[in-house]
Amino acid sequence: MVRYYDYHLPKDEVLNECRKILLSLDYDIDMYEPESYALTTKSIRVRRTLRKYDYVVYLQVSDKIEIHIAAKRSIFTSCLLYTSPSPRDRG
């Protein structure tokens, strides 16, 4: 998904404000590139009902704020597996 937004501040201020917003939403910044006015977040897991997705946000500030959101369905779930000893393991 890609979204575009207008802005009326200097590019560096816009990038910094976007970074603050993403941090407030519990995203971790993976790459912050003020010289190219871009940032990328680390993958974050968002759980909605029974489906789990990993999201990454890429943001570029040019004549507009361009936001790319990539979502990948996670097929792996973490779980704690407990197995009782089998009769042959009990001695």
Q: Kindly state the DSSP code that residue 84 receives in the 8-state scheme.
A: P
Cβ atoms within 10 Å of 27's Cβ, excluding its own: 19
Q: Is the per-residue pLDDT at 82 higher than 80?
A: no
The per-residue pLDDT for 53 is 82
> Do 4 and 69 touch, CB atoms closer than 8 A?
no
Q: What average pLDDT score do residues 10-20 get?
A: 97
CA–CA gap between residue 39 and residue 42 (Å, rounded) = 10
- Show the tokens assigned to 68: 């790319």
> Tell me: the pLDDT tens digits for 39-75?
999 998 876 544 678 889 999 999 999 999 998 876 6
- Show the tokens assigned to 35: 């010289």
For the entire predicted model, the pTM comes to: 0.71
> Tell me: the pLDDT tens digits for 18-27?
999 999 998 9
The per-residue pLDDT for 44 is 86
The per-residue pLDDT for 54 is 86
